[in-house]
Amino acid sequence: MELSSFDFLKQQDLPAGALYMVATPIGNMGDITLRALHVLNSVDGIACEDTRHSAPLLQHFGIHKKCVALHEHNEIAGAQNIIQHLSQNERWAYISDAGTPGVSDPGARLVNAVQKAGFRIIPIPGASAVSSAVSASGSVMLPSEGRFQFLGFWPNKVKERSTLIQDIRSNSKASIFFESPHQIRETLMMMNKELEPDRQVLVGRELTKKFEQLVTLTAADIPVWLEQAESLKGEFIVLVAGRQANADEAPERSALLLWANALSPYLGSKEIAAVLAQTLGLSKKEAYQVALDAKGQDDGQ
């Protein structure tokens, strides 16, 4: 394909005095987007989580720009440096080591400081381990109908792990988190111990890379899989299916309030309670309380 085929990139508005948050590949160099390359070639400078890590990527695509290091240890001071450049009507980009800045990577404090200083933030989307894993998760995401919570990196502290596993066990949304190769065995065995035996778990390893692996298991299958696994090296992402409600289990309160709020403009509290009790099997007392809560929310708006 001739370069002229990409002339549409030149029509992209690239405001000056703006910070471009640019997603980079999470493993496969081919996942860089055309828009990311265009932006990185157009900015006045690039802030990198690690300039040494980003250098091969930039060199591979022939991008030669001023680069400065901006990581979790100097993010606040580094942000002031970027703001100085933006105040001179320059365009700057920020890239983390892999994936989208600010998603379990530095970037949030930088964005906050730049926004407070009155400058524009422009996201340039790209590869993401989270969306990649979700797109290939199949049955793991079905119980939650596509809804999920992203938990970042699995914590090291026992108390935090205990709190999270309780949330995962009871949550109707799927849960997604990153884990290191050093902890993956222990973490998966915790899933085996704490979750129902038939709870579905997707384990992704080295996504987009040469030794990529995606496997769907039940919590009960985990020990056998760990015993037979060829390798536990690399970067891991884990998806845990949401809890499925039993047929005789009452809907969650948040769902009940959604029903009540939808009926609130048309019916009074007693009528709403009657509908909830009849259609969802609630007691009259519980249904009436939900109806009152919904009306209270309406009055407070």
Domain boundary among 98, 127, 156: 127
Query: Are residue 103 and residue 85 in the same domain, yes or no?
Result: yes
**pLDDT value, residue 4:** 53
**pLDDT value, residue 298:** 58
The count of other CB atoms within 10 Å of the CB of residue 233 is 12
The count of other CB atoms within 10 Å of the CB of residue 209 is 14
Query: Are residue 84 and residue 23 in the same domain, yes or no?
Result: yes
Query: Are residue 37 and residue 93 in the same domain, yes or no?
Result: yes
**pLDDT value, residue 250:** 55
**pLDDT value, residue 2:** 46
Tell whether 230 is covered by a domain: yes
Tell whether 12 is covered by a domain: no
Q: Are 179 and 152 in contact (CB under 8 A)?
A: no
Q: For the domain that residue 167 is a member of, what is the CATH number?
A: 3.30.950.10
**pLDDT value, residue 56:** 95
Tell whether 56 is covered by a domain: yes
Domain boundary among 127, 154, 170: 127
Does an H or E element contain 158, and which? helix 158-170
- The rounded average pLDDT for each run of 10 residues, N- to C-terminus, in the chain (301 residues) is 66 92 96 96 96 95 95 91 97 95 90 97 95 94 90 92 90 94 96 96 96 96 95 95 70 76 88 85 83 71 49
For residues 24, 26, 31, 33, the Cα torsion angle rounded to the nearest 10 degrees is: -20
Tell whether 246 is covered by a domain: no
Tokens 């935090």 sit at which residue?
160
Tell whether 8 is covered by a domain: no
Query: Are residue 234 and residue 141 in the same domain, yes or no?
Result: yes
Q: How many CA atoms lie within 13 A of 124 on its CB side?
A: 27
Query: Are residue 221 and residue 265 in the same domain, yes or no?
Result: no
Q: Alpha-carbon distance 267 to 221, whole Å?
A: 50
Tokens 């007691």 sit at which residue?
283
Looking at the structure of the chain, the number of domains it has is 3
Query: Are residue 148 and residue 175 in the same domain, yes or no?
Result: yes
Query: Are residue 203 and residue 114 in the same domain, yes or no?
Result: no
Q: How many CA atoms lie within 13 A of 11 on its CB side?
A: 5
**pLDDT value, residue 100:** 93
**pLDDT value, residue 61:** 95
Query: Are residue 183 and residue 138 in the same domain, yes or no?
Result: yes
Nearest in space to 239 (alpha carbons), one of 165, 166, 148, 163? 148
Tell whether 1 is covered by a domain: no
Domain boundary among 75, 99, 127: 127
Model pTM score:
0.78
Tell whether 9 is covered by a domain: no
**pLDDT value, residue 111:** 96
**pLDDT value, residue 170:** 85
Query: Are residue 60 and residue 154 in the same domain, yes or no?
Result: no
Tell whether 10 is covered by a domain: no
* Tokens read off for 3: 């370069």
**pLDDT value, residue 154:** 95
Query: Are residue 175 and residue 110 in the same domain, yes or no?
Result: no
Q: Are 92 and 45 in contact (CB under 8 A)?
A: yes
Q: For the domain that residue 95 is a member of, what is the CATH number?
A: 3.40.1010.10
Query: Are residue 78 and residue 147 in the same domain, yes or no?
Result: no
**pLDDT value, residue 3:** 45
Query: Are residue 234 and residue 134 in the same domain, yes or no?
Result: yes
Containing structural domain, residue 81 = 17-127
Q: Alpha-carbon distance 277 to 33, whole Å?
A: 52
Backbone angles phi, psi at 30, to 5 degrees: -70, -10
Residue type, 230: E
